[in-house]
Homo-oligomer: A and B are copies of this chain.
Amino acid sequence: MLKLGIIGATGYVGAEVVRLLSLRKDIEITTVVSNSFVGQPFSSVYPSLRGLFDKPCDALDIEQIAQKADFFITALPHGVSTGVIPALLAKGKRVIDHSADFRFRDVKVYEKWYKASHPAPELNSEAVYGLPELYRDKIKAAKLVADPGCYPTCCILGIAPALSKKLISPQGIIIDAVSGISGAGRKSELPYSFCENDDNFKAYGVANHRHTPEIEQELTAIAGEEVIISFTPHLAPMKRGMLATSYLTLTEKGLTTQEANELYKEYYKDETFVRVLPVGQLPETKFVTGSNYIDISVTVDPRTNRLVVVSALDNLGKGSASQAVQSLNIMAGFNETEGLLAPALYL
């Protein structure tokens, strides 16, 4: 029985991890750490879990919680993880961190975009970027896995096949993406209130969203040359769900949608959670919300010689919590798909 602690458990990502694991027989959540709800039953914070996970929340006391678990999933704000994770690693724990703190191999990029100095840069070279489809083998043995951002997961998996197969130019990539409101976390701030978001659509972070360099890091690694992208995130009035539309310049003329589709299917043929849709079908977030799947379609636009990739996932699923569980399964030597196969609710 794997013993797992969750730190930052009462945010939406943490709570989704609890939901995903609440019925697992091979994993026991031994501690849920929360800043705001110490001593309160987890199910009083998330009554959906009443009778399923009633354990009270613990305070963040590394000594105490280190005794309770061997693995930790941390879902803390950026800049906070760095204060917690070195201590856990020092005690031999294995950690999956959902902050951005350990996602960047070049700490300077992190420091520039996150406007903060990084207190533990040495850990970044050790940390593995937790995208199983790209780094499965490294995750297996990792002590520290940096769970990718939601936008990066959605965009990188959508572009990787075309880029790695040199179908497209690494230059001029434009990604226009949309997230449900839960991407901001469990926030009690006016911009995330119901009335300000219902029936409303907006762009944000134009030309400066922090997921931009994370996407660029991975696309650069795939392309073997520097990739600079235009990336614009938007907020749609829905709780969960993310969809990215990527505009990619084809390197040669004449490629058909059918051919692009087959190349994508071939690329992902062993990946359970990446579903390349048949030609003519486009992703919708309701096909994936609540699940660990990502759906991808490819369309060649011969008029502009571009490949338009649409990819969709659940920002709380493959975009964060269930992807963290996927990495946990890999690290622990479980079947990678254990507990993660359930389909989206659709409605």
Contact = CB atoms under 8 A, between A and B. Distances in A.
Interface string A172-188: 10101010111000111
A110 B195 CA distance: 29
A52 interface: yes
Interface string A190-210: 101111111111111011000
B52 A238 contact: no
Nearest to A49: B343
A4 interface: no
A201 B285 contact: yes
A282 interface: yes
Interface stretch (A131-139, A162-170, A300-308): A300-308
Nearest to A188: B190
Contacts of A286: 48, 196, 199-200
Contacts of A16: 347
A25 to B, nearest CB: 12
A229 interface: yes
Contact of A23 (B206, B239, B282, B342): B342
A178 B234 contact: yes
Interface stretch (A67-75, A86-94, A241-249): A241-249
B201 A241 contact: yes
Given A200-B284, A245-B234, A295-B47, A193 B195 contact: no
A180 to B, nearest CB: 8
A15 B172 CA distance: 42
Contact of A308 (B12, B230, B289, B344): B230
Given A23-B341, A23-B342, A47-B277, A347 B203 contact: no
B22 A206 contact: no
Given A176-B232, A188-B190, 19 more contacts: A12-B195, A23-B341, A23-B342, A47-B284, A51-B293, A181-B194, A187-B190, A194-B194, A194-B198, A194-B239, A195-B347, A198-B198, A198-B239, A200-B241, A200-B286, A203-B243, A203-B310, A229-B304, A290-B345
22 contacts: A23-B342, A47-B277, A49-B343, A51-B275, A176-B176, A178-B201, A187-B190, A192-B193, A192-B194, A194-B194, A198-B199, A199-B286, A200-B285, A201-B238, A203-B243, A207-B301, A207-B303, A228-B304, A230-B301, A232-B245, A232-B310, A316-B347
